[in-house]
Amino acid sequence: MRGPVRETGWAGRGACRTSDPDLFFPLAPTPVQEARAKAICGACPVLTECRQYALRAGEPEGIWGGLTPAERRRLRFSAGRRRSHAG
């Protein structure tokens, strides 16, 4: 994957490592590209690590751990709401 991956131990085992980075970081994403990238993520042995990294790092672009930027924002927003209601 392209981008500032600093936690590279898991990234080298990613299913995306042999894929075209433009599939995961398209300039103008289409539903077909998104589905293809997510299919690769779905079979990935490091899906959880990738997703956790993207959420922690606040990755603003690309498909990471099978999630689009909008999906990651929704997850972060709902997690923040749960924390604020728990305290």
The binding site for [4Fe-4S] cluster comprises 16, 41, 44, 50
CB 55 within 8 A of CB 76: yes
Q: What residues form the annotated binding site? A: 16, 41, 44, 50
Positive/negative CA dihedral, 76, 78, 84, 86: negative
Cβ burial of 68 (10 Å; 0-12, 13-18, 19+) is middle
Helix (H) or strand (E) holding 4: none
